Structures are given as C-alpha cells and as structure tokens.
Amino acid sequence: MSVDIEAGGALATAGLAAAAIEGQGGAPAKEHAKTCANCRAALVGAFCHACGQTGHVHRSILHMLEEGLHGILHFDSKTWRTLPLLVARPGLLTRRYIDGQRVRYVAPLALFLFTMFMMFFVFSFIGNEPKTLETATPTQAKQAREQLVGEVDEAKAEVTKREAALAAASADEREDATAELEEAKSELRVAEAVLSVFDKAETVKDDPTKTAVLTGEELKTLSGLDFGNVESQASGALSKLTKNPELMAYKFKNTAYKFSFMLIPISLPFLWLMFFWRKGVTTYDHLVFSMYSLSFMSLLFIVVVLLSMSSFTQSFVPYLLLIPPLHIFLQLRETYGLSFGSALWRTIALLTSAGTASLLFLLMIVVLIAM
C-alpha cells in the first residue's frame, strides 16, 4: 500500500492547527529561567503570566520531535477527559463547555478539525488499489448489458408507438404527436449511445492494447452539445477513464476534507429551527453541539470503515449504525435539558435534516469539482 503523502500532510496540519487552537500544553518544566525568553517579563511560575510561554525553553532535536508528535497525536491530558464524555455523555460534555467549564476539555473546534482530518486520512489509505471494470464479474457485466439492451428495446417500442400515434393523429393533434415522437427518438439515441459506450468499455477492459473511440454523434448525444468532428480528440479518452476511475474518487475526497468545515454552517439552521422559540438557547449552543456531534460521527465512521475491512468484524458494522440516533438523543436531552418526548422528536427531525445537510454538502463538493 502506497503512502498518501498529501493526506499525511493534511493530518499533520490538522493536528498542529488543533494544537494551536488549544494553546500550549504539557507538564511544567522542573527548571525555569528568571525571565521569559519571549517577552522578558519576570517569571513567577512555570509559565509566563504575560504571554503564556513556558518558562523553560528546550534546545534539543529530541524535544523538537517530541513537540511535533505532541501537536499531531494528542492535546495533552484533555483528550482523555474529553473522549470518554464524547462517547458516553456527549450532552454533559457539551453542556459543561457551554457553561464555561473549558480548561479540562478539548475545544470543540480543535476536536472537530482533528477528527475530521483523521477520518479522511484513514479513508485515504483504504481503497488505494485501482478500481476498474475488472472488479465486475463476467456475470455482473452480462447482467448490466442485458439491462441496457432491454432499455434500448423499450425505447424502440416507444418510438414505434409514437409513430403510429402520429400517423393516426388529426391535424390539431399532429404538433403534440410530433413533439412526443421526437422525444422518444431522443431517448432511443441516448439508450443506444450508452449501450455502445458500454460495449467499447468492455472491449478496452478485455484487451488493454485496444483504444476506445467515441464518435462525434455519441458525444453529441450523451452530452447534449454539438462537438462536431472530435473523434480524434476523444481517442483513448474512454480507456483512460475506465482504467483510472479512482481519479474522480480522489478529487472528491481531496475536496471534501478541505471543505469539511462547511458541514457546520450547513447544519446550524436545522438546529435553530428546532429551538428558536426557547429562551436562553443561542446559536453558540448549537455551534458547540454541532462540532462535538460531528467529531463523534467522524470517529464512528473510522471505526466502521476499519471493521469493514475484515471478514471477522464485518458482522458488527450493522449494529454500529444504530449508535448515531442514540448518541444524538443523549446529546440533545442533556445539552438542552429536554424531556424524553422532546428529545425523541428532535432526534427524528435532526436525523432527517442530517440527511438533507449531507446531500447539500455532497452537491457543493460536486459543484466545486466541476468548476
């Protein structure tokens, strides 16, 4: 398995960014200077009261490596106080942070950044093997072709039906009948073009030395644009696409993790709609709720993906998919002090809105890729 350098760099950046958001951590040094090396203020403890820098400045390569690993892999002991609550008592964690009890816990934005990039980092190592049409079995390819042939036959039957209707139409009905016939013919051309492209793709798959060529008519039919005579330009395009379908997956993944922070503003309006009439509930509360919730879901997705890789643990995956509703229910109830019924209907509404938010996010990513 090859190492995804860009994903690794993104993970390191996320860890360092999260550590920067959290601020300096670590145990106080045993020996300190009398003045701060950064601002020259007199030191009265392990850290400078003026700028916050540690009193003892290490000057060793070993400590530099230690600081790097520290920034990437953890946020001091706060992590071990935050993660158990994030898993078992998410509402309590959210409520404490909203109420100002923040020293002991990882900030929601820092945790969101790190877990989100960790998720995409893990995903970058999974599925690195090229996915081509060769992954489809001969039976699956045969079934796919039979379905396409069936669609062509249906389109031909529709054209025949529309031609008979046009022949029997009166003078007043001929315009509508003609339009319906042209539409049926257009659908037939599309179905035949798709079948032709499928057959060419199968030919390229069976014999990599061959080159698939799309005709100008096929390109015009499938794209809806008049490309003219572009057969020479399209030579080999289909073969490259069938041999490198992971390119689109890479672009999607690369864009998705760069814009993953957009999940937060997309989800906020749905939360606001569920609480806008309640006094004392602010947008800030929803923001903290969203970031902690998304952080947990990212960690859960990592676990699901890792378990899916082994045949021995795949059977546990369906049960893990029951966790998100329960987690959202518990977090809603304890964060906002809801009754069982109030938390239940909001959980159902939030799960529905989460699907809508995910679709909006995916649509945004598709648009960004296409730009």
Percent of all residues in the chain with a pLDDT value above 70, rounded to a whole number: 63
Are residue 219 and residue 249 in the same domain, yes or no? Answer: no
pLDDT at 31 over 60: no
- The pLDDT value recorded for residue 43 is 84
Are residue 127 and residue 262 in the same domain, yes or no? Answer: yes
Say if 156 falls within a structural domain: yes
Are residue 289 and residue 338 in the same domain, yes or no? Answer: yes
Residue 31's alpha-carbon distances to 4, 38, 57, 249, in angstroms, are: 41, 17, 10, 52
Mean pLDDT of all residues in 295-322: 86
Are residue 263 and residue 351 in the same domain, yes or no? Answer: yes
Say if 190 falls within a structural domain: yes
Say if 16 falls within a structural domain: no
Name the pLDDT band for 344 (thresholds 50, 70, 90): very high
- The pLDDT value recorded for residue 201 is 65
- The pLDDT value recorded for residue 59 is 65
Are residue 94 and residue 235 in the same domain, yes or no? Answer: no
- The pLDDT value recorded for residue 296 is 93
Say if 65 falls within a structural domain: no
Are residue 267 and residue 319 in the same domain, yes or no? Answer: yes
148/30: higher pLDDT: 148
Are residue 343 and residue 369 in the same domain, yes or no? Answer: yes
Whole-number Å distance between alpha carbons of 89 and 268:
21
Are residue 267 and residue 353 in the same domain, yes or no? Answer: yes
pLDDT at 90 over 90: yes
- The pLDDT value recorded for residue 306 is 85
Say if 34 falls within a structural domain: no
Q: How many CB atoms lie within 10 A of CB 274?
A: 18
Say if 61 falls within a structural domain: no
Residue after which a domain boundary falls, among 198, 228, 244: 244
Residue after which a domain boundary falls, among 227, 244, 261: 244
Closest CA to 45 of 65, 30, 66: 30
pLDDT at 104 over 60: yes
Residue after which a domain boundary falls, among 197, 214, 244: 244
Are residue 210 and residue 273 in the same domain, yes or no? Answer: no
Please, where are the H alpha helices in the chain?
5-22, 61-73, 78-88, 90-98, 108-125, 138-168, 174-206, 216-223, 231-234, 237-243, 246-258, 263-275, 283-308, 317-320, 323-336, 340-370
Return the SS3 of 282: coil
Say if 150 falls within a structural domain: yes
Closest CA to 162 of 180, 187, 150: 180
Closest CA to 238 of 225, 219, 259: 219
- The pLDDT value recorded for residue 329 is 95
Whole-number Å distance between alpha carbons of 219 and 225:
8
Are residue 249 and residue 122 in the same domain, yes or no? Answer: yes
Reported as a single tens digit per residue, the pLDDT across 124-150 is 666 544 444 444 566 766 777 777 788
Name the pLDDT band for 41 (thresholds 50, 70, 90): confident
Reported as a single tens digit per residue, the pLDDT across 156-193 is 888 898 888 888 888 888 888 888 888 888 777 777 77
Are residue 162 and residue 141 in the same domain, yes or no? Answer: yes
Would you say the pTM of this structure is higher than 0.75?
no
Say if 36 falls within a structural domain: no
Domain count, the chain: 2
- The pLDDT value recorded for residue 235 is 42
**Domain interval for residue 93:** 76-131+245-371
Are residue 275 and residue 328 in the same domain, yes or no? Answer: yes
